[in-house]
Chain A
Amino acid sequence: MTVHQMPADNTKPAYNYAYLDEQTKRMIRRALLKAVAVPGYQVPFGSREMPLARGWGTGGIQITAALIGPADTLKVIDQGADDTTNAVSIRKFFERTADARTSEATEEATIIQTRHRIPEAPLKSGQVMVYQVPMPEPLRKLEPREAETRKMHAWAEYGLMQVKLYESIARFGEVTTTYDYPVMVNGRYVMSPSPIPKFDNPKMHMSPALQLFGAGREKRIYALPPYTSVKSLDFEDHPFRIQSWSQPCGLCGAADSYLDEVVIDDRGGRMFVCSDSHYCETRRAEGHRGAMLGDAAASGLVEETNP
């Protein structure tokens, strides 16, 4: 096994390139190739201990480690933002172990590792999305036994999921699932899209980018090749709908992006801002102004750019 960084080099630890040993990478790579051949099917793999806790994106990290090479540019987002804890620490991890070139720009990245969002900027052919998945099994809350859910997938026995959606409609008048909304992949497997908001589900359908999903604790890898049919489960008389908001982003004025609600005072004041931080910053740099940008800049929360 080649040691990428020689132990004699005192400035850097002697990890193999991208932390994982080559034997582990081969095992993950074989699982990934089977995952793209059967879109939506969860391939078991030997998830390794990583230097951060399970549940913090170890599945996504192991996939990225098996993928990344010197030609790649890595972007890491957490709930859409490039500058939150999980994103910053994973980006640093690959800067340290793989000398990775990193970027916050969606269009520059070749690998985008994400927790719970798909970027607003359209993805391109050649890009790879890597999702961190806490619970890969969409049927787990309905059937706790792995032996049973495996048979349900084997025989495409998804009636239970339809019943769950129906019960939600019967009780509340609509499907109340707003994130991790189950999808049917290539007309065969019901798949968890990871806890992305259902707003992002339509972006998966026929996406030109390759999408890979890693669940480290649950030891599963699954994938969507580019241009694969991804249909959110629904009923003819209750078609799938995405979220909408009554007002645009308070900072950049975008009306087409996923918005986070932010409580701003103790008198019921609220503002809505883009969850995708790079998208919001790009729009502000282009001169788009939201209704609350002046206030936010005055209180030092954002920098106001003057194009």
Chain B
Amino acid sequence: MAIQDIISPGFSDPVFQSQAAFRALLTALSEPGTLQSVAADIIPPEGLATATATALLALADYETPVWLPETLRDGPAATWLRFHCGVALVDDPARAAFAVIDGAASEPKLAAFNPGNDQFPDRSTTVIVQVSGLDGGAGFSLSGPGIPGTRRVAPQGLRPGFTDELRQNGALYPLGVDVVLASGEGMIGLPRSTQIEEAR
């Protein structure tokens, strides 16, 4: 068996590990801009950060179509997600409940994913954006629900114009996608309710 065919383990204790992962995600999305981290006790497949893989293990299943970039769709990440979560992978970003994108790649734009509709804004895609770091980059300020005053984030490895995409996404409120920035074991939530104050 070739080494890339071996599927690395998922949760060893699914009940408590998915509970802990969910609480980290809940805090990340209810207090946007705060750095949350997940435990490093799984071995993610090539191409997925620990935080991305943990979030999908905790939330994705046969009810949630997942969109992956082409580089991951035919690789071990797809096999791993199909095996552990039983997810269907979709080609059309607008059909995805969850999507994983590379923050540095120029495509797809956030606008390509499903923003929900005015009667069911909850049917939007949750987009996990994998970045090279969650601090030390070009910063921008956030405000909105979950943030007393303003909060500053400075992720690294985002494509130029990403903050404009976030701003356009926020302008759709209450529609829009919810973004989770992921790097290593860390993640930062940027739900659609968050306003991007300034980009520098």
Pair A39/B22 contact, Cβ less than 8 Å: no
Contact of B23 among A44, A67, A227 (CB under 8 A): A67
Q: Are B61 and A23 in contact (CB under 8 A)?
A: yes
In whole angstroms, what is the CA distance A228 to B29 when docked? 13
Asked if A74 lies at the interface with its beta carbon under 8 angstroms from chain B, I say no
Q: Contacts of A35 on B, CB cut-off 8 Å?
A: 122
B83 close to A (CB within 8 Å):
no
Q: Is residue B164 contacting chain A, with contact meaning CB distance below 8 A?
A: no
Size range of the chain A interface in the assembly? 35 or more
Interface core residue of A4, A66, A225 (most chain B CB under 10 Å): A225
The answer to whether A43 has its CB under 8 Å from any CB of chain B is yes
The residue in chain A whose Cβ has the minimal distance to the Cβ of B31 is: A226
| Contact across chains for B145 and A31 when beta carbons are under 8 A apart | no
B92 to chain A, nearest CB (A): 20
Taking the closest CB of chain B, its distance from the CB of A269, in whole angstroms, is 47
Q: Given that A26-B59, A30-B59, A31-B122 are known contacts, is A39 also in contact with B148, CB under 8 Å in the complex?
A: no
Stretch in B13-21, B43-51, B131-139 touching the partner: B13-21
Q: Does A189 contact B (CB under 8 A)?
A: yes
Q: Does A233 contact B (CB under 8 A)?
A: no
The distance in angstroms between the C-alpha atoms of A286 and B55, with both chains bound, is 46
Interface residues as binary, A255-291 with B (CB distance below 8 Å gives 1, 0 otherwise):
0000000000000000000000000000000000000
A225 with B122: in contact, given A2-B13, A26-B58 (CB under 8 Å)? no
The minimal Cβ–Cβ distance linking A223 to chain B, given in whole angstroms, is 7
Residues from chain B with Cβ under 8 Å of A44 in the complex = 120, 122
Interface size of B by CB at 8 A reads 39
- B105 on the A face (CB < 8 A): no
Sampled A-B contacts (6; CB under 8 Å): A17-B15, A41-B174, A67-B26, A225-B30, A226-B146, A227-B147
Q: Which residue from A26, A32, A33, A151 sits with its C-beta under 8 Å from B178? A: A33
| B1-54 interface with A by 8 A CB criterion | 13-16, 18-20, 22-23, 25-27, 29-31
Give the docked Cα–Cα distance between A227 and B19 (Å). 24
Q: Are A38 and B18 in contact (CB under 8 A)?
A: no
Query: Measured between alpha carbons, how far is A189 from B61 in the docked complex, in Å?
Result: 30
> Contact at B146–A34, with CB atoms within 8 Å?
no
Task: Return A41 CB to nearest CB of chain B, in Å.
Answer: 6
- Does B173 count as interface, using CB distance less than 8 angstroms? yes
